[in-house]
Structure 1
Amino acid sequence: MFAAERRQLILEMVRANGAVSLRELARVVQTSEVTVRRDVRALEAEGLLDRRHGGAVLPGGFARESGFPQKSHLATAEKTAIADLAAGFVEEGEAIVVGAGTTTQELARRLARVPGLTVVTNSLLVAQALAHANRVEVVMTGGTLRGSNYALVGSGAEQSLQGLRVSRAFLSGSGLTAERGLSTSNMLSASVDRALVQAAAEVVVLADHTKLGTDTMFQTVPTDVITRLVTDEPPGHDDRAATELQALADQGVQISVAGGPGAGAGQPASEVMAADRRGPRRDVPLPGQRRNLAPGGGGSGPQLRTAAPLAEPPGGRVADLAPRRR
């Protein structure tokens, strides 16, 4: 394939999906990541796209949201590894919330064998993945269906979450930065995600390396509210992803890397060393609102136990990142 043909195909993929990793681009155009990186650099020089951590996005600084059909085919290996690792943080008999997204859908498929689990979700795809799990109770929010990602949004979804108490929230999004935290491109989705966070004592973010350093329009989870990030191993040449991970660790986010060196089934869990051992969050601010989430606090929702500290499950590692001294 000639360079002009490759670059046209790369441009079409980015325009269709909003953001595409170098790995995925190299697979589709059937060439090396080194060649794809050169093509992306040339297209950026023409103002046709922007380079991001290990990938390319539409120009203008903010990546737009892709639809489910496009997202489901992006970074599939990375999402699988992240879901495998994140599932190890879910305990028997726990009550959790799981947000919408293709990575959280992969997580849900791995939760079907957790006995006594209660999953609250606004995602039809998460609910479908658990529909035949006899030992898992699934609670759906109300709301209006957003067809692009099969999620329930709007005031009905947010109101159904009021008074809810769970131990952990597992969320994904369109971008993650140390400066603004997790963000998404849709206002309605962002509002429901904030309500999901409001119900949880701890927040676990699932984001592959292509989302690191990407900023989108609507903030969902501020950095200081994120307990842990579960991500994949960035390519060795992706210095910007490593810089973003260090910045997140500096702000107290615990970093777990799926498929990193030394990871493997049956290996002992690593010791958490990436960040300070913060206790469970007690409250998360929403615009104009602050609500106590401690067990036994106010509200009419069921009183569930506080989340136990997260220990590293087999199959991953804690990134060797300590908060830098200021």
Structure 2
Amino acid sequence: MFAAERRQLILEMVRANGAVSLRELARVVQTSEVTVRRDVRALEAEGLLDRRHGGAVLPGGFSREPGFPQKAHLATAEKTAIADRAAALVTEGEAIVVGAGTTTQELARRLARVPGLTVVTNSLLVAQALAHANRVEVVMTGGTLRGSDHALVGSGAEQSLHGLRVSRAFLSGSGLTAERGLSTSNMLSASVDRALVQAAAEVVVLADHTKLGTDTMFQTVPTETITRLVTDEPPEHEERAAAELRALADQGVQITVAAPGGGTGGGAGAAPGPGRRPRPVPPAAGRGPSPAAGPGGGKPPAGGQGPGRTEDLPLPGQRRAHPAASTTPPLRGGPPTAEPPATGGRVADLRRR
């Protein structure tokens, strides 16, 4: 395909979807992300689109929020891997809240097999994904339907959450930064997400790498309130996203990285994948229990471990016990988990194994 043909196709995809990731563009035009990045720069110079880290948007693209059909086609492999890993955090008989979004919809599809689970949600799509799960109880908020993301918002939704207490909240959003935390471009959605957070002992944010470093209008969850971030590994060229992960870890957020379609992972000494260069990460003391293990390092939770490599990254500032301790502190009230002895050496970084 000639450069002019590639760029025309890229432009058509961005116009049709509002925003498209570089990975998706490279897949469709069947070329490398490096080539696609050059094409996007050329189109930006002509004023035909705007570059955003990890993708391209219409000029002034963040002034309008893409609709659900557009968002559903962005970073699909990454969202699937994130949902797989997030589902492994959920245990039998737990009560959780799940916010609206395409990534949380993927999570809901995996929660259908967790027995005794109670899910409170304002998302019609989350409820639909769990509608035929006989062992899962679904509780919907009230409110006014916001059609663009199939979610219930407004005072009715917020009031229905008053007095509620659950173990975890799973939320997504439009952007995530270490400075402001999770944010979204819609005021009503942000207000309901804040009410969901108030109902939970822990807050788990699901955000693919294209949202890292993006700051949108309305803050939903400040960084100090986020317990864990489940994300995918930023591409090698996305130094800004990798730096944002380190900054989030410095502020106490636990970072879990899920690799789309990857292998079973490797230890701290594993070699980088083809074409990858290692990224230095400051050493930390010890490694937490395997992310696939349940409480105490035993059987995995009922949610199951999805495909792909996952890593819990003990980056600087994370909530970790000293390696000499026998247990790690619970995540805001959760049960303690056994801590294996320190292995020494370098810890896992953000590169592929």
TM-score (ref. length: structure 1): 0.81
Unaligned runs of 5+ in 2: 267-288, 292-310, 321-328, 340-346
Q: Flag the 1:250–1:18 CA change in 2: closer, same or farther, 3 A.
A: farther
Distance 1:251 1:21 in 2: 28
Q: Structure 1 residue 88: deviation in Å?
A: 0.7
Given the alignment of the two structures, is residue 176 of structure 1 paired with residue 217 of structure 2, yes or no? no
Given the alignment of the two structures, is residue 273 of structure 1 paired with residue 300 of structure 2, yes or no? no
The corresponding residue for 1:220 is 220
Equivalences for residues 132-171 of structure 1 within 5 A: 132-171=132-171
- Which region of structure 1 is more displaced relative to structure 2, 201-210 or 62-71? 62-71
Secondary structure of the residue aligned to 2:90 is: coil
Q: Flag the 1:192–1:310 CA change in 2: closer, same or farther, 3 A.
A: farther
Q: Structure 1 residue 97: deviation in Å?
A: 0.2
Using the aligned pairs only, state the percent identity: 86
Q: Residue 334 of structure 2 is aligned with which of 307, 310, 313?
A: 307
| 1:268-313 superposed Cα distances (whole Å, 9 cap, x missing partner) | 43666231247655xxxxxxxxxxxxxxxxxxxxxxxx4336899x
Quick one: which amino acid aligns to residue 168 of structure 2?
A: R
| 1:143-196 superposed Cα distances (whole Å, 9 cap, x missing partner) | 111111110111110110011101100001111111111111111111111110
Q: Flag the 1:136–1:243 CA change in 2: closer, same or farther, 3 A.
A: same
Q: Flag the 1:83–1:309 CA change in 2: closer, same or farther, 3 A.
A: farther
The corresponding residue for 1:2 is 2
Equivalences for residues 279-318 of structure 1 within 5 A: 280=331, 306-308=333-335
Count, aligned residues: 291
Distance 1:169 1:238 in 2: 28
Quick one: which amino acid aligns to residue 199 of structure 1?
A: A
CA contact (8 A) 1:53 1:210 kept: yes
Q: Structure 1 residue 71: deviation in Å?
A: 1.4
The corresponding residue for 1:102 is 102
The corresponding residue for 1:89 is 89
| 1:82-121 superposed Cα distances (whole Å, 9 cap, x missing partner) | 0000001111111100001111011011111111111000
Q: Structure 1 residue 42: deviation in Å?
A: 1.8
Quick one: which amino acid aligns to residue 314 of structure 2?
A: M
Q: Structure 1 residue 216: deviation in Å?
A: 1.3
Given the alignment of the two structures, is residue 41 of structure 1 paired with residue 41 of structure 2, yes or no? yes
Distance 2:235 2:161 in 1: 39
- Which region of structure 1 is more displaced relative to structure 2, 42-51 or 25-34? 42-51
Q: Structure 1 residue 15: deviation in Å?
A: 3.8
Q: Flag the 1:167–1:145 CA change in 2: closer, same or farther, 3 A.
A: same
Secondary structure of the residue aligned to 1:157 is: helix
Equivalences for residues 313-324 of structure 1 within 5 A: 320=349
Secondary structure of the residue aligned to 1:236 is: coil
Q: Flag the 1:197–1:165 CA change in 2: closer, same or farther, 3 A.
A: same
Secondary structure of the residue aligned to 1:104 is: helix
Secondary structure of the residue aligned to 1:133 is: coil
Distance 1:19 1:251 in 2: 30
Secondary structure of the residue aligned to 1:162 is: coil
- Which region of structure 1 is more displaced relative to structure 2, 39-48 or 80-89? 39-48
Secondary structure of the residue aligned to 1:14 is: helix
Distance 1:21 1:61 in 2: 13
The corresponding residue for 1:250 is 250
Distance 2:79 2:312 in 1: 23
Quick one: which amino acid aligns to residue 154 of structure 2?
A: G
Distance 2:336 2:108 in 1: 21
Distance 1:200 1:182 in 2: 16
Q: Flag the 1:232–1:63 CA change in 2: closer, same or farther, 3 A.
A: farther
The corresponding residue for 2:185 is 185
The two structures, once aligned, show a CA RMSD in angstroms of: 2.6
CA contact (8 A) 2:19 2:61 kept: no
The corresponding residue for 1:73 is 73
The corresponding residue for 1:324 is none
CA contact (8 A) 1:53 1:209 kept: no
TM-score (ref. length: structure 2): 0.75
Quick one: which amino acid aligns to residue 273 of structure 1?
A: P
Distance 1:235 1:271 in 2: 18
Equivalences for residues 196-207 of structure 1 within 5 A: 196-207=196-207
Equivalences for residues 42-61 of structure 1 within 5 A: 42-60=42-60
Q: Structure 1 residue 264: deviation in Å?
A: 5.3
Secondary structure of the residue aligned to 1:110 is: helix
Q: Flag the 1:309–1:204 CA change in 2: closer, same or farther, 3 A.
A: farther
Q: Flag the 1:309–1:152 CA change in 2: closer, same or farther, 3 A.
A: farther
